[in-house]
Chains A and B, each alone.
Chain A
Amino acid sequence: MPEEGRPRRWWLLIGLFAVVSLAVYGIARLQPFEPSAPPAAAVPAGDAANGETLFVAKCAGCHGQGGAGGGIGPALVDTGLDAPSVAGVIAAGRGAMPAGLFTGQDAADVAAYVAGISGGGATPPATTGGATTPAPAAGGTVQLTGDRLTGIRVRLDQPAPVSWGVWAEGPAGTRRLASIPPASALVVVDDAGLGPLVQGVDRFTVGPTADAPALTAPLGADEAGRLRTLFIGDPDLPDGASTLDAASGQVAVMRDHIRFLVLARQERNLANIRFHGEHMVNLAYGNPPEDVDGNGDPSNPGDGVGLLGPEGGRPGYTARLAATGPEAAREADAFTLVVAEIATAGRECGAIATVEASDACVATIGDRSGELRRTWAALRTGALRSATIALEAP
Chain B
Amino acid sequence: MSAYVPTADIASSYADAMESVFSSAVAGKAWFATVAVVLAVVQILTAARMWGKLSGLIRLPTPTVQRIHRWSGRLALLFTLPVVFHCVTILGFQSGDTRVLVHSVVGSFLYGIFAAKMVAIREHNFPSWVIPVAGGSLFAGLVVLWVTSSYWYFTEVNFGI
Whether A associates with B in a native complex is: yes
Within 8 Å by CB of A30, from B92, B112, B125, lies B92
**Interface assignment of B48: CB less than 8 Å from any CB of chain A:** no
Chain B binder among A1-9, A260-268, A325-333, A342-350: A1-9
- When distances are taken between beta carbons in the complex, the residues of chain B under 8 Å from A6 are 123, 125
**Interface assignment of A137: CB less than 8 Å from any CB of chain B:** no
Chain B binder among A15-23, A106-114, A313-321: A15-23
Contact B92 A31 (CB under 8 A): yes
- When distances are taken between beta carbons in the complex, the residues of chain A under 8 Å from B100 are 71
Contact B8 A99 (CB under 8 A): yes
| Interface residues of B, dominant DSSP | helix
- Given known contacts A13-B130, A74-B96, A98-B15, what 16 new A-B pairs fall within 8 Å (CB)? A6-B125, A8-B125, A13-B120, A21-B112, A22-B112, A28-B93, A36-B3, A37-B4, A61-B157, A61-B158, A71-B97, A71-B100, A71-B157, A96-B25, A98-B24, A99-B12
- When distances are taken between beta carbons in the complex, the residues of chain A under 8 Å from B153 are 72
Q: How far is the CA of A19 from the CA of B25 in the complex (A)?
A: 29
26 contacts between A and B (CB under 8 A): A2-B125, A3-B124, A6-B125, A8-B125, A9-B123, A13-B120, A16-B115, A16-B119, A18-B112, A20-B111, A20-B114, A24-B84, A28-B92, A31-B92, A33-B11, A34-B11, A34-B89, A34-B92, A35-B11, A36-B7, A38-B2, A75-B96, A94-B11, A98-B15, A98-B24, A99-B15
Q: How far is the CA of A72 from the CA of B94 in the complex (A)?
A: 11
**Interface assignment of B33: CB less than 8 Å from any CB of chain A:** no
Q: How far is the CA of A189 from the CA of B26 in the complex (A)?
A: 35
Chain A binder among B34-42, B52-60, B66-74, B101-109: B101-109
Contact A98 B116, CB 8 Å, known A3-B125, A37-B4: no
A37-70 residues with Cβ-Cβ distance < 8 A to B are: 37-39, 61-62, 69-70
**Interface assignment of A173: CB less than 8 Å from any CB of chain B:** no
Contact B4 A92 (CB under 8 A): yes
Nearest CB in chain A: distance from B142 CB, A: 14
Q: How far is the CA of A16 from the CA of B158 in the complex (A)?
A: 38
Within 8 Å by CB of A28, from B12, B88, B152, lies B88
Contact A32 B89, CB 8 Å, known A38-B2, A39-B2: yes
Contact A71 B152, CB 8 Å, known A33-B10, A35-B4, A36-B4: yes
Contact B91 A69 (CB under 8 A): no
- When distances are taken between beta carbons in the complex, the residues of chain B under 8 Å from A20 are 111-112, 114-115
**Interface assignment of A213: CB less than 8 Å from any CB of chain B:** no
A16, A28, A32, A69 — which one has the most chain B CB atoms within 10 A of its CB?
A28
Nearest CB in chain B: distance from A102 CB, A: 15
Contact A69 B8, CB 8 Å, known A16-B112, A33-B90, A34-B90: no
Q: How far is the CA of A389 from the CA of B130 in the complex (A)?
A: 64
Q: How far is the CA of A103 from the CA of B88 in the complex (A)?
A: 29
Contact A27 B89 (CB under 8 A): yes
Contact A34 B7 (CB under 8 A): yes
**Interface assignment of A95: CB less than 8 Å from any CB of chain B:** yes
Q: How far is the CA of A19 from the CA of B10 in the complex (A)?
A: 26
Within 8 Å by CB of A93, from B3, B15, B110, B119, lies B15
Contact B108 A98 (CB under 8 A): no
Residue of A nearest to B8 (CB): A35
Within 8 Å by CB of A98, from B19, B84, B91, B96, lies B19
Q: How far is the CA of A94 from the CA of B5 in the complex (A)?
A: 11
Contact A24 B99, CB 8 Å, known A34-B92, A39-B2: no
Nearest CB in chain B: distance from A21 CB, A: 3
